[in-house]
Amino acid sequence: MRLYLLRHAQSEGNKRGIFQGKLDLPLSEEGIKQAQKAGEFLKRFSFDVIVTSPQLRAKQTAEIVADILNLPLEVDERLREISYGVLEGKKHSEVENWEPYQRWLEDPVKNPLEGVDDFNDLQRRLESFLKDHYGEGKNILVVTHGGIVRAFICLLGGLGFSRMWRFSVGNVSLSMVEVKGVKPPRGKIKFVNLPTVELL
């Protein structure tokens, strides 16, 4: 099974430079344009279904892409973004020099921040999603969030969640993991952070 991971287009929160997590903000005007361009780029792939997070920024992106690709769209709660706890609503610039934040970036498992989702719970929900959708030869486009894209890559690539913040995942970037099995979850990372809009 090939799992294509598309991060949502620019949201109003991205535009303001804030941590969003559970905050439910819509796409910006630029984000709508990005989603349309991503849909055109994705015509070169073949997908069986699109599955999206229910949060507005991801769902709006997925609806635009699904319309362009003429594909069915499913909404799955398990694709919601990680809660960023004490960071939510704050600007990145406000916390970039805050020592607990720097430690969290280095290893979020060993140095958790208050209110951030538990990684055991995160692993369980991603494993549950993979188990329900796994099938030989399937190609699934998942429209979700930066934290969840990173978490899938770390889980399936055997990297561990402690390395989640070691790589970038831009708006409407595409990553792909070839899933080899789900008990335990394992796969081969094919590419990460492919900039769909820039490559159109």
- Two structure tokens written together for 43: 């015509």
| Residue 179 CA to its chain's centroid (Å) | 16
- Two structure tokens written together for 151: 């978490």
Measured distance CA(20)–CA(53) in Å, rounded: 14
Measured distance CA(4)–CA(56) in Å, rounded: 20
Q: For residue 196, which of 37, 75, 88 has the smallest C-alpha distance?
A: 37
Active site residue ranges: 8, 145
Measured distance CA(49)–CA(71) in Å, rounded: 6
